[in-house]
Structure 1
């Protein structure tokens, strides 16, 4: 499938989402990989992960980049050779890339009931405004996870805890924006957050 969605929250930032309907072979034929990327994708045991990896390269092409324009630092954070900020995510049959002049992070997650099992690991302050009887509880938990994951990606600092260092300001069922904070050691930073749901998934991205 071609591009699923493109969003520009501001003049410096673009988000693109891909719905992965293509086969592994079709995706592989549509892009050009450098040797180390080819070795990496061939070494993946799951075809779902392989297709996610390749779909991200399709998204790069939508932005006008090639696989060779992308590299990773020692913390696993992706970078572009031209200096623009990039963050990458994929979950099941969706992938997304955000590219910006601003520091940014993105995450997509499928909305699943089992997120309640791990909620205690990433929820702290947010429990003050969450209600387990709310019919949107799973959706809200998933949004908070996505927000904190996007913060983790952009901050790229070992030791950052979703529960202890990331705080998401309350939002209602109809909201698609909020504010989040990272309070880590001597650093306290405020981020603009955007989020939305589609086809049983949640996408959130953070911009500094």
Structure 2
């Protein structure tokens, strides 16, 4: 299907969400891939991963032009070739989303809301964070924390960060419009504000700071 949703967060950032209903063959006809993209595409074993890879590039090229390409730095962080815009990417099941910003570093994460998060909560939340999880809307609240911490990793830009000790989410209620969190490392310390979007059975959390 075409673009599922477009949100202009402010004058500097744009959020795009695509629901994947196309086949791999249909997606290939819609995208301009460079040689490096084709090499990466051929390495993916699963059809779903191939669709996510292609759809991300389709979104970028429909928004910015067919000459725009996506690369990754040594830490896996994506960036754009032939564009000065900053980029963040997320995908889960049948959805792909990108967040673009000209002046700021964007980050977003999207997850399918399932009960599995209850089993792993202690792996990514501190004791204090666990104590403040809502019991009436527990699944949503846990995923808000999970997605926000994934965003903090992307904002920090490296993956060697401790989820509990170095990524903090400040106390909030699941129906709050905004909430905040921070990276707490000796080499990097910064606070961020998060917004979120819930649709179908999915949650998307994003930050533009």
The TM-score, its normalising length taken from structure 2, stands at 0.93
Aligned counterpart, 1:33: 33
Is contact 1:87-1:154 (8 Å) kept?
no
CA displacement at 1:171 relative to structure 2: 2.4
CA displacement at 1:71 relative to structure 2: 1.5
Task: Tell me: CA distance 1:130–1:164, structure 2 relative to 1, closer, same or farther (3 Å).
Answer: same
Aligned counterpart, 2:19: 19
SS state at 1:171 partner:
coil
Is contact 1:34-1:67 (8 Å) kept?
no
Spell out the pairing of 1:76-155 with structure 2 (5 A cutoff): 76-81=76-81, 82-101=83-102, 102-124=104-126, 125-131=128-134, 134-155=135-156
Equivalents in 2 of 1:196, 1:115: separation in Å? 18
Q: Which runs of 4+ in 1 moved over 4 A?
A: none
CA displacement at 1:186 relative to structure 2: 4.1
Task: Tell me: CA distance 1:176–1:31, structure 2 relative to 1, closer, same or farther (3 Å).
Answer: same
Q: Which stretch of the first structure deviates more once superposed, 75-84 or 139-148?
A: 75-84
Is contact 1:33-1:68 (8 Å) kept?
no
State the number of aligned residues. Answer: 206
Q: Aligned-residue CA RMSD in angstroms?
A: 1.5
Equivalents in 2 of 1:165, 1:193: separation in Å? 17
Task: Tell me: CA distance 1:98–1:147, structure 2 relative to 1, closer, same or farther (3 Å).
Answer: same
The TM-score, its normalising length taken from structure 1, stands at 0.93
Task: Tell me: CA distance 1:50–1:188, structure 2 relative to 1, closer, same or farther (3 Å).
Answer: same
CA displacement at 1:80 relative to structure 2: 1.6
Spell out the pairing of 1:188-207 with structure 2 (5 A cutoff): 188-207=189-208
Task: Tell me: CA distance 1:67–1:172, structure 2 relative to 1, closer, same or farther (3 Å).
Answer: farther
Q: Which stretch of the first structure deviates more once superposed, 4-13 or 56-65?
A: 56-65
Is contact 2:68-2:80 (8 Å) kept?
no
Q: Which stretch of the first structure deviates more once superposed, 48-57 or 183-192?
A: 183-192
| Unmatched runs of 5 consecutive residues or more in structure 2 | none
Equivalents in 1 of 2:28, 2:166: separation in Å? 39
